[in-house]
């Protein structure tokens, strides 16, 4: 799959990653893990990164075991799903990782769990109230429902104390910012 930054190719990659996550999540869940998010890092040989979490933490041997199981599932998925086959068919590296201190945030439940924590959010396109700006740093104030879907409310650091709603659908990437 030629991964460019056009909206249609982002949508195809997004659909393939959602399919990948849907196939890997039950495997992880059966072993007591949660798939937090799945990322595609392009390039000549792409990298599929799967972040997993466990209540007792994630060890290196957990990542190795999950990597073997995920790899087997992805081999079958490449043949069964045209979206996954198009994304992974040219070859890829699979990385299974713990979330680390700068934990990725991708789902509504992630943002709800970390209300009050500092986060960095990058959006696909600039927001109407902030033309030309795609990166935002602030404290997660909550998640709101709106007619067009849920939004993360972020109390911005710049301009200080400005709360803004960021639609979940507009978020390209988000992660916590580690604080001592």
Domains for the chain: give ranges and CATH numbers: 7-97 (3.30.300.70), 108-176 (2.30.30)
pLDDT in tens, the chain (180 residues): 444 455 567 778 888 999 999 999 999 999 999 999 999 998 778 999 999 999 899 999 999 999 999 999 999 999 999 899 999 988 999 999 999 888 999 899 999 999 999 999 999 999 998 999 999 999 999 999 988 889 999 999 988 888 999 999 999 999 999 887
Helix axes 60-80, 7-30, angle to 10 degrees: 120
Predicted local distance difference test score (pLDDT) of residue 7: 59
The rounded distance, in Å, linking the Cα atoms of 20 and 29 is 14
Tell me the residue length of the chain.
Answer: 180
Q: What is the pTM of this model?
A: 0.78
Answer whether 165's CB lies under 8 Å from 145's CB. Answer: no
Answer whether 136's CB lies under 8 Å from 120's CB. Answer: yes
Radius of gyration of the chain (CA): 17
Contacting residues for 57 by C-beta, under 8 A, at least 6 apart: 98
Question: 3-class DSSP state for residue 100?
Answer: coil
Predicted local distance difference test score (pLDDT) of residue 139: 96
DSSP code per residue over 7-69: HHHHHHHHHHHHHHHHHHHHHHHHTT-EEEEEEEE-SSSEEEEEEEE-TT---HHHHHHHHHH
């Amino acid at each position: 799959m030629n991964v460019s930054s056009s909206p249609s190719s982002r949508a195809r990659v997004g659909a393939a990653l959602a399919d990948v996550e849907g196939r890997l999540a039950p495997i992880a869940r059966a072993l007591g893990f949660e798939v937090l998010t799945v990322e595609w890092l392009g390039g000549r040989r792409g990298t599929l990164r799967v972040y997993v979490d466990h209540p007792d933490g994630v060890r290196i041997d957990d990542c190795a075991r999950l990597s073997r199981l995920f790899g087997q599932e992805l081999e079958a998925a490449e043949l069964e799903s045209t979206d996954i086959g198009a994304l992974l068919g040219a070859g890829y590296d699979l990385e299974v990782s713990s979330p680390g201190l700068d934990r990725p945030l991708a789902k509504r439940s992630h943002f709800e769990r970390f209300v009050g924590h500092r986060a960095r959010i990058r959006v696909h396109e600039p927001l109407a109230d902030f033309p030309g700006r795609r990166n935002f740093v602030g404290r997660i104030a909550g998640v709101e429902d709106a007619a067009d879907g849920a939004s993360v409310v972020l109390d911005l650091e710049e301009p200080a104390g400005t709360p803004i709603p960021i639609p979940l659908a507009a978020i390209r990437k988000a992660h916590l910012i580690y604080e001592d």
